[in-house]
Amino acid sequence: MRDRLRSSILAFLALFLFMVFPADATFTWENNITITHDKVQWVYTEKYTEDNAIIYKQYIDVSLGNGDGFINAWEILKADVKTRSTLQSSILKQMDVIVNSSNGSLQPVVLVNVTSSMSPELLGPVMQMEMIKNIYTANYHMENPLGSDTGSISLIGEGSTPLIINMYIRGISVDSTVGIDNVSVTSSEEMVKIYGNFDYTGKATVFFHFDKSTDYINTVNELSEMNVTSEVSILNEESNQKFSLADRIIFFLDLHKCKIT
């Protein structure tokens, strides 16, 4: 994602991938974000198809396995651990969930954990062309729960990728959005749902307020129980960066260089 180690060989491989295979046809990245009073859950769904799926599998086989043309369960496990470690380190370096109160002050956001579900189609021959679908989930805790105040929440994602935001908070109303293309907002008494795409900047901001007549009770079950760590990372405006599809590919090419935290 950000701050990747880029050797000349890795850069060449990434450039080769983009020169030979159309990224739009063989790689997709989707974002589904759920927000409650004090939690955010960001689910990333990543899909590789056609030749990119084979290249991704070849990378795992060569860099994390023994290069025998077959991906086994141990190699998938290593890819899983390194992916989660890299994603967690990336978020801690640059927090991608930003909460502002009505007076403009940044509110503390804690990254709780990162989980993943690697595609079962990775198992087997490298040259077997199948769709690869990996799911990564990042869980966050807001130290100051959203309540009766106005404010905004910004999400730093990948530019021009699909975005769904589910706000399960009774009494919340969305005033406006910035950084979301083709935006659609639907509201009910129980929740607000926002559809669209990150714009080219990769930063989406939702401005909201609360109905003063509403008692602020979360209307859905709490997100899965989280063991909050002491690591807090707050992003200010100056540290906002765009990360591209090329960065995402290099992310996987760089996995074997990242140590497990």
Q: Is the pLDDT of residue 236 over 70?
A: no
Burial code of 180-199, b = ≥16 C-beta within 10 A, e = fewer?
Answer: beebebeeeeebbebebbbb
Single-letter residue type at 16: F
**Is residue 140 helix, strand or coil?**
strand
- For residue 190, the 8-state DSSP code is S
Strands 132-142 and 172-178: unpaired
* pLDDT tens per residue across span 237-248: 333 344 444 444
For residue range 1-20, what is the model confidence (pLDDT) as tens digits? Answer: 433 333 333 443 444 444 44
Two structure tokens written together for 189:
């008494």
What is the Cα–Cα distance from 145 to 90, expressed in whole angstroms? 24
Segments of 108-246 assigned E as strands: 109-117, 124-125, 132-142, 151-156, 162-167, 172-178, 180-187, 192-198, 203-210
Nearest CA to 160 out of 198, 201, 195, 196 is that of 198
Confidence at residue 167, expressed as pLDDT on a 0 to 100 scale: 97
Phi first, then psi: give them for residue 33, nearest 5 degrees: -120, 130
The Cα–Cα gap between 107 and 248 comes to 28
What is the value of pTM for the model shown? 0.76
What are the tens digits of pLDDT across the range 78-124?
Answer: 999 999 999 999 999 999 999 988 777 888 999 999 999 999 999 99
CA distance 100 to 202: 18
Asked if residue 244 lies in contact with residue 5, where contact means CB atoms within 8 angstroms, the answer is no
- Beta-carbon neighbour count of residue 227 at 10 Å? 7
Q: Which of 60-74, 112-126, 160-174, 243-257 has the lowest mean pLDDT?
A: 243-257
What's the mean pLDDT in 34-52?
94
Q: Per-residue b/e over 47-81, b at no fewer than 16 CB within 10 Å?
A: bbbeebbbbbbebbbebbbeeeebbeeebbebbbe
